Amino acid sequence: MPNILALEANTNSFLLPEGLIIVKTYYAKPGEVTREWLLIDAEDQVLGRVASTAAQILKGKHKPQYTPHVDVGDFVIVINADKIKVTGAKASSKTYYSHSGYPGGLKEEPFARAMERHPERVIEHAVKGMLPKNTLGRAQGKKLKVYAGPEHPHQAQQPREISLEG
């Protein structure tokens, strides 16, 4: 086993006797995370594109300090959820299913009816399907705020609006 000598006391680099440098991987710690509020306007945007962008921000994959096992993501506000679009024939063929747990308790709701009754849940369902299915994913999902209209109660957080292509 070769002797490993530290180059500097406060760096993550080590120098091996052969002249090779080893750089240790940085992992974010939960206390070091700074969160930002981002705003996505879903008007005339495609559901999947909005959902995948929101999921990446919630996970924190847009940050250089992304760590898979730590919640480093930002808060996401989605407005105008009632004006979102889907491509192809999904508007008439997409169906949402839920089950009560009892025999014969399967309920189905077409996309068009879901958009009439609660358009926020359509985006929440799409985004949460793209997050991890564990405690970390549930914590990330709580940072998603979806509103049907253009108004939201998070003006005090001064959200930064991001634009989506398309």
pLDDT at res. 10? 54
| Domain residue spans of the chain | 29-162
- Selection from 60, 62, 79 nearest residue 70 by Cα: 60
- Selection from 57, 58, 53, 70 nearest residue 136 by Cα: 70
The superfamily in CATH containing domain 29-162 is: Ribosomal protein L13 (3.90.1180.10)
Q: Kindly report, residue by residue over 108-135, the tens digit of the pLDDT.
A: 999 999 999 999 999 999 999 999 999 9
Q: Kindly report, residue by residue over 131-161, the tens digit of the pLDDT.
A: 999 999 999 999 999 999 999 999 999 999 9
pTM, rounded to two decimals: 0.85
Which amino acid, residue 41? D
pLDDT at res. 19? 73
Report the 3 state secondary structure along 89-144: CHHHHCEEEEECCCCCCEEEEEHHHHHHHCHHHHHHHHHHCCCCCCHHHHHHHCCE
